[in-house]
Structure 1
Amino acid sequence: MNIRDIVNRDLVNLANCESEPIHIPGSIQPHGFLLGLNAETYSIEYCSQNTVDHIGIAPDAVLGKKLSDLFDQSQSDRFDEYADVEIDVARPFVFTKNDIPYNTTVHQSGETLILEFEPFPDGSIGLPDLYAQTRNFVSLMEKHSHLQDLCKDIATEMRKITGYDRVMIYKFDAEYNGEVIAESKREDLNSFAGQKYPHTDIPAQARQLYIRNQLRLIADVNYTPVPLLTREKENVSNSSVDLSLSVLRSVSPIHLEYLRNMGVGATLTISLLQKDRLWGLIACHHYTPKILPHYTRLSALLQGHFLTSQIAVREVAEEFEVGQIVEKALSDALSLLHQNDNFIEDYFREPSLLKVANATGFVIYYKGKLYQNGSVPEPEYLLPLLKTLSEKYPSEGLHTERILDVYEEGEKVAKYAAGFIYHSITAGTPDGILWLRKERRETITWAGNPHKAVVVNEDGVTRLSPRKSFELWMEEVKNKSTDWRKAEIHAAASFAYALQKHINLRYVKSQEQSNRVLNEELKAANKELANLNWISTHDLKEPLRKIQIFASKILDREKTDISAQVKDSVERMRFAAEKMQLLIEDILTYSKTGNMDKVYESVDLNMILTNVQDELSEIIEEKNAVIHTEVLPTLKVIPFQVHQLFVNLVSNALKFSVQDTNPVVNIQLKQVTASQIPDSKGPAQQPFYAISVQDNGIGFESEYATRIFDVFQRLHPGNKYPGTGIGLAICKKIMENHAGYVDAKSEPGDGATFTVYFPLEQSS
C-alpha cells in the first residue's frame, strides 16, 4: 500500500500571502492525533503520522481500517451512537487506549468525518464550575456601565480561568487594525495596553477562520508539524482536507514566526463577533508551552460568549448617553426654529446648534451670506468648500472625519474643519448647512513598525517576513477629527430637514403676505373669486411648477445618488404639487364660469367620504385617528367640489387635534328645516340634510364662528398649524354653489363641529 502525505508546501510570498490556504495545511499540531473517516463507510482514509506515538499503531496499520480495529468493539459501538445523534463539541467522546483517555472532538468536513484525539493533560476531566463563573460575570456586568471597564475585568477573570501569562482584549477598527483595550498580565511583563497592531497582522483569510472557528489553541509555537497521510488511489487526487473547524489544525509558518519574534511560547485566541463580523479577539499568551484542557477551553470560550453578549448592549448604552445630549440640543434648536420666522438671522449663534452634533463650528450659507457659530475657517476658505460640496452633493447629506477624502484643498481648513456634516438647503445653489469639528492630531502607538518586512532568502526568492522588532513605533495622524456618532449624524439631518421646511415656509408666508395686499387692491372688483383667480394664475402656480421641475430633475439626474427614502419623499412632493396644481386649475375654471350652468351629477356621498379617507390615510395613521360616520345620502352635486369640501373639513379636524390625544371624528346625518339653520334665507319649512363633522380637538372662541369662513382668516398664526387661510372660505363658496349653508360651533378645549346643509330636493 502506497502512503503519501497531503502537506501543502506552497511557498508564501508577496504575491499570494493574502490568500495563503491556511485552512488546508495538511498537517496538525503534535499534542494530539487525527483520524479522517469516510462519512458513509466509517473507513479510515486519513490519519496523522504520529498515531504510533499516541496509540502504538503505525499509519500503515491504521489507514483503510475501522475504528473497531483500533479500539475495542464496545467503544466503537458507543461512538456509532454518538456520531448518529450526539455530536457536540462541548461534550467530546472519550476513547481509551492503553489506559490513556482521549477527549475526541468530532466534526464533518465535506465527505470526511474528522476525529481529533487529545490525551487529558492532567489525567482528569476537570469540569469547570459554571455556576461560579456565571455568577462572577453577572457581578462584573452589574458593576460596570462602560464596555472598556468591563473588558478589563473580563481579561483578569480569563487569566484566572486559563492560567496564561498575559490576556489581552483587542478591538478592531473599520480597517481591522487592532487595539489592545484591556489587559491582565504577570507583574514582570511589559504592558501592551493601548498599543495598535496593523490589519496585516491578521490577513483576511485568517479573519474568516476566526469567524468560523471561534477558539484557536497553539500549545507550543516551536512544534514540528505532523503530516496527514492517506493512501494513494488511481484517478483520485485526495489533495487536501479542509481543517477550518479543527482543534489541532497546524498554523501558518508566518504566524508562528511572528509569535516567536514576540517571544511567545503558546497562545489561546477566542473570537468576539458582532453581526457576523469580527469585532475583536481575546488573545491569551504564555511564554512557555502550554496545553489547556478541553473543558477549561470551553470555560474560556464561555467567557468570550459572555463578553460578546454585552458588546452590543454596552455600545448601544454609550450611544444612548450621547443621544440624550444631542436630542436635548435638537429639541432646543427646533423650538427656536419653529417660534421665530427670522431664526437664521437672529439665532444662528445659539449654543444648541453646536451641541446638536457636538461640533466645534457651525455654518449656514443662505442667499449669499454666511452665518457662523463657533470656530470656523475664514470665508475665503469656507466658501470654496461649500461650493464644492453643493456641486458634488446637491441633494444628499454627507459626513466625514477625514476632509481630504472628499475635498482636495482640505489642509487649508483642517484646523477647524477636519471633519464635517453637510446638508444642502436648496438644490442647485451653494446654500447649505455645515457642522465642523476641529482637527485632532493623534499619535498612534504601534507595536513595532506596521509595515511588513520584505526579505530575500538564500535562493534569492522574495517573501514576507513577520516583524522582528516590536519596539513602540509612533505615527502622527493629521487632518482628521474625532468620529461622528450615529446620534449626532441623525440629529444634524433632522435639524437640516427642519431648516429646509422653515425656509420653504418663510417663502410661502412672504407670498401669503403679498397676497393679502393684492386682495385689498382687488377687493372692489370681486373680493374673493378675483383674488383666487390671481393667486392661481400667478403666485401659486409658479412655485408649484418650480417644485415639479426641481423634483423631476432630482429624480431624473440624481436617481443613482439618492437613497430610496429621499427618492420616495421627492416622489411624494411631486405628486402633491401635481395634485395641488390640478385643484387650483379646477378652482380657476370654476371661478371663470361665473353664472354659467353648473354640471351636477348624482353621487353617493359615502363613496366620496371613502375616497377622502383614502387620501388622508397617512395623517389618519400617523395620528392614530378614529373616524365614525353614519350612512350618507345620494345627492346631485358637483363631485370634485364636494370631495374638496370633505377633505377640508376632515383634515381640519385632524390638524387641530389636542397633543397626545388621538383624534376622534364623528360624521353624522340628520334632517332639518331652514328655520333651524343660522342665516338661512329660504322658506322656513324647506327641508335640508345636515351633515356635521365633529372633532375632539382644540376648538376656538365662539366669536370667530363667522369670521373663520372669510378668506385668509387664520386663528393660529405661526408654524404649529400651517395653512393658507382659504380652506374654509372655499367650503363656504362650495355650499353657496349648492344652494346650501355651512356653520361652525366651538369652545376652546371642547372641539369643534362644522355642519353643512344640502337642500333635500337635490337628493336622488
Structure 2
Amino acid sequence: MQATDPVTLDNCADEPIHIPGSIQPHGALLAFDLAGALLAWSDNAPQLLGLAPALHMPLDALPLPPEVHEVAAECRDSIEDGEAPASALEVAIGGLQFDCIVHAYQSRLIIEFELRETPSDAVAAFALKAHAAIDRLKRQKSIDALLQLATEQVRAITGFDRVMGYRFHQDDSGDVTAESRRDDLEPYLGRRYPASDIPAQARRLYIINTLRLIADVGYTPAPLRGRAGDAPLDLSHSVLRSVSPIHIEYLQNMGVGASMSVSIVVNGRLWGLLACHHMAPLQVPYSIRMAADVMAQVIASLVQSIEARERSKLVEQSAEVRTRVMETLLHHDEPARALLQHAPSLCESLQVEALVVTQYGKIMVHGDIDAALAARMVASLPEGEGGNDLVERIAVTDWPQEIQAALAPWAGLLALRFDPATSGWLLGLRREQIHTIRWAGRPEKVVVAGPLGPRLTPRGSFDEWREMVRGRAVPWDATEKLAATQLLGEMHRASVAKHIETDRARAQLLAMLGHDLRGPLHSINMAATVLQHGGAASTMSSRIQASSTRMERLISQVLDMSRINGGLSLGLTRSEVDLVVLLQDLLDEARLSHADLRIETSLPPTLLAQVDGDRMVQVVSNLVSNARHHGTHGEPIHVLLSDQGDKVLLEVRNVAPEIPAELVPMLYSPLKHASVGNVRNRGGLGLGLHIAQEIVQQHGGEIAYRYESPQVVFAVTLPRT
C-alpha cells in the first residue's frame, strides 16, 4: 500500500504550477533551444498547425508563416541571460486565425499560437475603449474610486459577467473592495478571502506574469511531447499554461466557466488583483487582454501616487506635532507633564486612543485607561539602556502572560523610550478590534479526495461565514511607524539637550561648592585644632572637628559622583556576593528584554566573592550587550563562571569576526575613533569597555580579549577577597 503525505497547506503551496507539463487546448505551443532545435510541442500542435514535429527539428524547417520566423529571429537576437520579452502578431494557418506570442525564458524559445475568433476590427474597437478608460482612471482621486471604475471598465472591454477588485492586507488575505457584475449574480463586495487561497508560488507567478486567462474551466489539458532538456519546460510566462487542478475545482465550486486575473503590482509586491469571472467559457483576444494589463499597470502607478500623497500628508502633520513637542520639552522642567499638553495631537499622529507617559517612576495617563493598568503596562516594558527604544505589540498574546487577562479592552501598544537614563516612556494604546469579517466561505480547507488524491482542496461552497476577530488591534502601518520613529528621534535629541544643560548646571554647582566651602571648612578645622588644647573647650572642639569632617565627606561624595559621571575613578562598596545568583538574575532579565536572545551558561552551584555587586552587574551587562550587538545574529551567547582557587574567572563568548589587530590596543580607550559613527555601536563613544575595565581593575582584577575561532572571548579575572 502506497503511503500518502500528511495533509497540510504545503500540499497546495508546494505544487509546481510553473511546470505543469501541459497547456490549455485553445492553442498550440512549440519550444526550441537557443540554436533553434525543437525540444517540445503540445499534443495538439499537429492538428492546429498542420505540422509533423520531431525532436531536434530545426525551426527554419517548420512550415510556419514567414512573419512567425521573422519575429522568432528577432526574439532570439534580443535574448539576454536566457530571456526575452514577449512579441505578438496575428497569423492565419490552415484557415484558422491565431494570436502568435513569442518569448524566451530560461534559454528556451517558446512560440504559442492562441486561437482567436473575434475579428480584428472588433479587437481594435475594444482597444479604443481601453484607451478612453485609462484617461478616466487617471482622474480618480481615491483608491476605492479607482478600483471601482477599473472593474467597470475591464468588464466593459472584456465582456466578463463579474469583475472584482481585490486589495491585499499585510497577512496576504484579500478584501473585495470593488465589483462590477451581472445583476442576477450574488454580490461578493466586502468579502474577505484567506491568504491560503493564493499560495506562495501562485503569488510569484502573479508578480512575474501579470495576466492569466482560463478560457474554459472545463478544459482537457493538452500534454507536452518531446523533451525540453534536463529540466521540465518552465511555462511561467506562457499565455497557454495549464493551471492547477485544485484551482479548477475552486472555480467550479463557484459555478465559474471562464476566469481571468490581472495583477496590480506596487513596489514589487502583489498589492491587488482584478479578478474576472464568466459563467460560461469565454475566449478574450490577446490584444484586449494586453489592454487590460496596461490598465492594471496604470492603476498600480496611480495607487503608488495616491498612497504617497496620503503618506506625505500624514508626515507633514506629524512633523508639526514633533516641532511643538520639541519646543515644549526643551523649555519645560517636567518633560512627562509637557508631553501630556500635546496628548490630543500625539494621539492623532500615532493613531492611538490613549497615552501613558512615565518618567522617574511617575505615571500619567490621557484617555480612558485605568491608572493601575497603566502602571502594569509600564512595568511590562524592557528595562535597562540596552533594550529596544521602540516596542510594538499588536495582539494580547504579544504581552507578558501575567498581564494578558487584565488588558481588556486594550490590545495594541506602541511604546517610545524617549529618555533611557530616567526611564522615560511614551506609550500609545489601541483598543482590541472586535469586528466581523465577511469571509467568503470558511478560511479552512477540508480534506477530501481531490484530483491528486487525499489533500487539501478548495472549499465546497462560498456561503458567507463570519469570524469574530478578538484579542488583536489594527496593526500600525509603515507611515505610522515612521512618524513614531521620527518623534522618538526628536524626543531623544530633546532629552540629550536637557541632560547636557543639567550636567552643565551640576558642574557649575559643584565648582561653587568646592570653591566656596573649602575655605570655611579649613578655618573650622584650624579653630578646632586650637580649641582642642584648651581643656574645658575640648568637647566643643571635638564636635566642631567631627562636623567639619562630616561636611568634607559629603562634599567628597558629591565630587565622586561627578567623577563617576565623567568616567573617572569609581568608588566600590564590597560585600560577600554569590556571583551565581547575581548572574542568573541578570541573564534572566536580559532574556526577558530580548525575546530572541539565546544565552547558554556554565555555572557552579554557588561561588562567593568579595565584590561590589552593583558594579559587577554593570560589567557583565556591558559584555553581554556587546556580544548581542556585535555577535552573529541567531548564534547563542555563552557565559561561563569558574572557581580558580583564590580567583574567579568569568568568560563571555559569542560567535563574531575577529577584532582587527590594529584596534585591539585601543579596545578599552574612551572615545575611540573606531567607535564614533559605528552603526553597530549603540553607545556611540566606546565608553562601556573603558568603564568595565575601571571597575575590574579597582577590584584588583583584569579583563582581557582573545579570539578562539569562531568566538570572540572577553575574560574577567577577579580575586576572591
TM-score, length of structure 2 as denominator length: 0.68
Task: Please show how residues 42-81 of structure 1 align to structure 2 within 5 Å.
Answer: 42-57=36-51, 61-71=53-63, 74-75=66-67, 77-79=69-71, 81=73
What's the CA shift string for 1:217-259, capped at 9, x where partnerless?
110111011111116xxxx976621111111010100000001
1:161 aligned residue: 157
Q: Give the match for residue 360 of structure 2.
A: 367
What is the number of residues matched between the two proteins?
557
**SS class of match (1:263):** coil
Q: Does 1:339 align with 2:331?
A: yes
Partner of 1:497: 492
Distance 1:48 1:458, change over 3 A: closer
Alpha carbons of structure 1 residues 507 and 23: separation in structure 2 relative to 1, 3 Å: same
Structure 2 CA distance for aligned equivalents of residues 362 and 443 of structure 1: 27
**Which amino acid counterpart does residue 557 of structure 1 have in structure 2?**
V
Q: 1:471 aligns with which of 463, 471, 492?
A: 463
1:450 alignment counterpart = 443
**Structure 2 counterparts to residues 95-134 of structure 1, below 5 A:** 95-124=91-120, 126-127=123-124, 133-134=130-131
2:315 and 2:6 map into 1 onto residues whose CA distance is 48
Match of 1:322 among 314, 318, 342: 314
Shift of residue 411, structure 1, vs aligned partner = 3.6
CA RMSD of aligned residues (A): 3.9
Displacement of 1:475 in angstroms is 0.9
Q: Is the 8 A contact 1:63 1:230 kept in 2?
A: yes
SS at match of 1:269: strand
Aligned to 1:543: 565
Match of 1:515 in 2: 510
2:189 to 189, 193, 200: 193
Paired with 1:430 and 1:342, the residues of 2 have a C-alpha distance of 13
1:290 and 2:282 matched: yes
Q: Can you list the C-alpha shifts for 1:589-628, whole angstroms capped at 9, x where unaligned? A: xxxxxxxxxxxxxxxxxxxxxxxxxxxxxxxxxxxxxxxx
Structure 1 residue runs of 5 or longer lacking an equivalent are 1-9, 527-532, 580-764
Deviation of 1:431 after TM superposition, in Å, equals 4.8
Given the alignment, which residue of 210, 213, 227 partners 2:223? 227
Partners of 1:319 and 1:487 within 8 A in 2? no
What amino acid does structure 2 have at the position aligned with 1:186?
R
Distance in 1 of aligned mates of 2:189 and 2:489? 39
Alpha-carbon distance change, 80 to 442 in structure 1, aligned in 2, over 3 angstroms: closer
**In the alignment, is the contact (CA less than 8 A) between 2:563 and 2:569 conserved in 1?**
no
Letter in 1 for 2:41: C
Instruction: Measure, in 1, the Cα distance between the counterparts of 2:679 and 2:64.
Output: 71
Which amino acid counterpart does residue 45 of structure 1 have in structure 2? L
Residue in structure 2 matched with residue 18 of structure 1 by the alignment: 13
- Out of 172, 178, 185, the residue aligned to residue 176 of structure 1 is 172
Corresponding position: 1:281 with 2:273: yes
Q: CA deviation at 1:543?
A: 1.6
Cα deviation for residue 13 of structure 1 reads 5.6
Whole-angstrom CA distance in 2 between matches of 1:536 and 1:411: 44
Per-residue deviation, 1:551: 10
Amino acid at match of 1:183: E
TM-score, normalised via structure 1 length = 0.65
Q: CA deviation at 1:473?
A: 0.9
Give the whole-Å Cα distance in 2 for the aligned partners of 1:113 and 1:157: 34
Structure 2 counterpart SS, 1:224: coil
**Structure 1 residue 404 corresponds to structure 2 residue 401:** no
Task: Please say if residues 394 and 428 of structure 1, whose CA atoms lie closer than 8 Å, have aligned partners that are also in contact.
Answer: no
Partner of 2:26 in structure 1?
A: 31
Question: Which of 125, 134, 138 in structure 2 is aligned with 1:137?
Answer: 134
CA distance in 2, matches of 1:420, 1:216: 42
Q: What letter matches 2:201 in structure 1?
A: Q
Shift of 1:333: 2.2
Q: 1:279 Cα deviation (Å)?
A: 1.8
- The 2-side partners of 1:314 and 1:432 are apart by 34
Percent identical pairs in the alignment equals 29
2:696 corresponding residue in structure 1 = none
- CA distance in 1 between counterparts of 2:678 and 2:488 reads 12
Within 2, Cα distance between the matches of 1:11 and 1:208? 24
8 Å CA contact retained: 1:326, 1:358? no
Q: Provide the rounded CA distance (Å) in 1 between the counterparts of 2:619 and 2:348.
A: 35
Q: Over alpha carbons, which structure has the higher Rg?
A: 1
Q: Distance in 2 between matches of 1:514 and 1:469?
A: 79
- Rounded to whole Å, the distance in 2 between the matches of 1:176 and 1:254 is 19
Q: What residue identity is the alignment partner of 1:142?
A: R
* Aligned counterpart for 2:431 among listed residues 434, 438, 453: 438
Matches within 5 A, 1:411-422: 411-422=404-415
Tell me which amino acid in the other structure corresponds to 1:445: R
Residue identity opposite 1:480 in structure 2: R
Distance apart, 1:513 and its partner CA: 6.6
Task: Give the Cα–Cα distance (whole angstroms) in 1 for the partners of residues 520 and 564 of structure 2.
Answer: 24
Following superposition, the deviation at residue 384 of structure 1 comes to: 3.4
Q: State the Cα deviation string for residues 319-366 of structure 1 (Å, max 9, x = none).
A: 222223333322222222222113434663543443442322211222
Distance 2:16 2:491 in 1: 50
SS class of match (1:247): coil
Query: Are the equivalent residues in 2 in contact too, given 1:361–1:416 (CA < 8 A)?
Result: no
1:204: which partner in 2? 200
SS in 1 for 2:355: strand
Describe the shift of the 1:498–1:376 C-alpha distance in structure 2 as closer, same or farther (beyond 3 A).
farther
Kindly state the Cα deviation for residue 169 of structure 1 after the two structures are TM-superposed. Answer: 1.8
Aligned to 1:749: none
Q: In the TM superposition, what is the alpha-carbon distance from 1:561 to its structure 2 partner?
A: 6.0
Aligned ranges 1:622-633 → 2 under 5 Å: none
Task: Give CA deviations for 1:279-314 in whole Å, capped at 9, x if unaligned.
Answer: 222211111111111110110010011011122221
- 2:242 matched residue in structure 1: 250
SS in 2 for 1:304: helix
The CA distance in 1 between the partners of 2:302 and 2:148, in whole Å, is 14
CA shift, 1:22, in A, is 0.8
Q: Which residue of 2 aligns with 1:610?
A: none
8 A contact 2:151–2:179 mirrored in 1: yes
Shift in alpha-carbon separation, 1:578–1:120, aligned structure 2, 3 A:
same
Post-superposition CA distance 1:191-225 (Å, at most 9, x none): 21221111111111111111221111110111011
| Counterpart for residue 637 of structure 1 | none
**1:656 match:** none
What letter is aligned with 1:24?
I
What is aligned with 1:743? none
The correspondence of residues 612-651 of structure 1 with structure 2, limited to 5 A, is none
Structure 1 residue 558 corresponds to structure 2 residue 670: no
Could you report, residue by residue, the CA deviation over 1:50-108 in whole angstroms, capped at 9, with x for unpaired residues?
Answer: 12431344x5x555544455426745653453334468756414443223332221222
Residue of structure 2 in register with 1:261 after alignment: 253
What residue number does 1:597 align with? Answer: none
Do the aligned partners of residues 209 and 458 (structure 1) sit closer, same or farther apart at CA in structure 2, a change above 3 Å counting? Answer: closer
Report SS of the residue matched to 2:308.
helix
Q: What are the within-5 Å matches in structure 2 for residues 565-714 of structure 1? A: 570-574=682-686
Residues in 1 aligned to 2:361 and 2:457: alpha-carbon distance in whole angstroms: 58
Q: Per-residue displacement from partner, 1:651-698 (whole Å, max 9, x unpaired)?
A: xxxxxxxxxxxxxxxxxxxxxxxxxxxxxxxxxxxxxxxxxxxxxxxx
CA contact (8 A) 1:377 1:413 kept: no
Q: Say if 1:418 and 1:436, in contact at 8 Å, map to a contact too.
A: yes
CA contact (8 A) 2:510 2:559 kept: no
Secondary structure of 1:545 counterpart? coil
Number of the residue aligned with 1:641? none
User: Could you say what secondary structure the match of 1:168 adopts?
Assistant: strand
